[in-house]
Structure 1
Amino acid sequence: MGGGTHEARLLPWSSPEGKPCYLDGDGTGYISRVADTIENVQLGMAGDLLVHADDLLAEGGVAPDRLRLTLEQLTEALRNVHRIAESRGARLPAAPEDPADPMDPVDDVA
């Protein structure tokens, strides 16, 4: 991790008590590789679940219990994807400040 700052990595699993798990390392060890693999599996499963949900929505007249199960699975997949995004976002290098940031409001007075 460059730039002299280092943050522990949020892992894609929780403790038995449901608390987040973190890894303090350089990102090249065995646990980091296991976490990368699990994240890739979770992202793939989320993509597959989106296809399934689209199919159910296109079907129409789907039984409520099937919809509920799919909603539960979508919720879990979204939770996993959110955790992955948090973890990966925290490991990105800080963007340099740009004085011409397009997100800053600009006074265009002619």
Structure 2
Amino acid sequence: MTTPNELRLLPWSGPGDKPCYLSTDDPDSYMSRLADGIEAIQLGTASELLEEASEALDSQGTSLDDMRCLVKELTGALQDVYRVATSRGHLWATCDPHESAY
């Protein structure tokens, strides 16, 4: 939840890969819910890729091309997860420590 003067880093980039921000104090607004949903998808994708990477590393038959493709996908997922973590960490840092996070 953002405070009235706080901006939320959104889980997608704008033109030129520039960060996008949302200014709202309503966690139930359409854009807030959309951002929450996209963050959930991004985190789920990262989890699936981690499992796939573990399996590929355990397999002797994984080709170099397959590993390159997997590394590219993991890099994108890591960028998404980093953006989510940055956004959430920033929001937590601005919260009142006496308020419940849930």
- CA offsets, 1:61-83, max 9 Å, x none? 42111000000000000000000
Structure 1's 94 and 79: CA in aligned 2 closer, same or farther, altered over 3 A? Answer: farther
TM-score w.r.t. the length of structure 2 is 0.84
Structure with greater proportional helix content: 2
Q: Following TM superposition, by how much is the alpha carbon of 1:90 offset from its aligned partner in structure 2, in angstroms? A: 0.9
Contact 1:10 1:21 in 2 (8 A): yes
Q: How much is the aligned-residue C-alpha RMSD, in angstroms?
A: 1.9
Q: What percentage of residue pairs aligned between the two structures are identical?
A: 45
Separation in structure 2 between the aligned mates of residue 5 and residue 29 of structure 1, nearest angstrom: 14
Gaps of 5+ in 2: none
**Mapping 1:3-82, distance limit 5 Å:** 6-26=5-25, 27-82=27-82
Separation in structure 2 between the aligned mates of residue 5 and residue 94 of structure 1, nearest angstrom: 14
Moved over 6 A (4+): none
Q: Following TM superposition, by how much is the alpha carbon of 1:60 offset from its aligned partner in structure 2, in angstroms? A: 1.8
